[in-house]
Chains A and B, each alone.
Chain A
Amino acid sequence: MSDQLKALVSRPVFVFLTDGRSLVGNFEGYDQQANVILSQTHERIFSSTEPMQSVPIGVYLIRGETIAIIGELDEELDEAADYDNMRVEPLDPIHL
C-alpha cells in the first residue's frame, strides 16, 4: 500500500484527514505505515458562508492512520478553481 506513495515523492499533494481537514503540501516522504511528511503545507479551511482560507502550517508529519485520502494535486486545475467564490461545506469527520 505505502509503496504506491513512491510516485508522489516531491510532488504537490492534497491530503484529507479522517477528522475532515484538508491539507495541501509538498510530499517529502513516507514509510511503511503510510506516515507522511509534507512541507510548505497549507490547511484549506472551507466554509459555507466564507471564501476558502488557506493557512500556511509548515512541515507536517501525519500519522498514516489519520489519512483518509491522499493524491497528487493537479496544479493547473487547482489554479483554475475559483476558490474565492466557492462556498463549500467543510467535510465531516469520519468515524471508523
Chain B
Amino acid sequence: MLVELKNGETFNGHLVNCDNWMNLTLREVIQTSSDGDRFWRLTECYIRGNTIKYLRVPDEIIDMVKEDAAKQRAAGGRNSNRGGAGGNTGGDQRGGHYSQQGGDRGGRGGGRGGRGDYNKSGRGGYNGGDRGGRGGGMRGGRGRGSSQA
C-alpha cells in the first residue's frame, strides 16, 4: 500500500502492523520525497498516524472486507466470531464501525483471532493479506455505540 504524509512524502511498502491511532509499520519500503525526485529504500519503517494524509490500498481489500462483514453477519453478529475470523480487519478491531451499506452493526465480537491463523487464510487488514495487520487502523468504537448503529 501507499502512504502519503501531510508533508507530501510517500511511502510504498507492505503493511505489517497498525494500531488504533493509524500508526503503521511498513516493510520493504520505497520512500519518495515530496517533490518526487528522490527515492530511498528502507527495509522497515514506522509511521506515526497523525502525520498521514491518506492511504492508497489495493482494490481487492474492499471486497475482502465486505465478504468478511457478510460472513460475520451470517455467523450471527454480536458474539459470534471468536477465533479465526477475527473481525473484518484482522483481530484487533472492536466493532465494525466502517459501515458498509449502513447496515453493519459490527458488534462486540471483534475476534480474538491471533494474527497467525488469520494470515493463513490469506486475509489481512488493509494490507492485502500478506501479513494480516491489526485491523484497519481506525478506532472502532464499541460496536453498537458507533456512529452507524
Contacts and interface: CB of A to CB of B under 8 A. Distances in A.
Interface residues of B, number: 31
Contacts, number: 87
Nearest to B138: A31
A9 B62 contact: no
A6 B54 contact: no
Nearest to B97: A31
Contacts of A58: 56-59
A61 B55 contact: yes
Chain B, interface SS category = loop
B6 A29 contact: no
Contacts of B36: none
Interface in B97-149: 97-102, 126, 136-141, 146-148
A28 B59 CA distance: 12
A92 B22 CA distance: 27
Contact of B62 (A3, A30, A32, A39): A39
B54 A66 contact: yes
Nearest to B60: A59
Interface string B25-55: 0000000000000000000000001101111
Nearest to B7: A19
Contacts of A3: 147-148
A62 B54 contact: yes
A61 B100 contact: no
**What are the 7 A-B residue pairs with the smallest beta carbon separation, nearest first?**
A29-B98, A61-B55, A31-B138, A62-B54, A3-B147, A66-B53, A9-B102
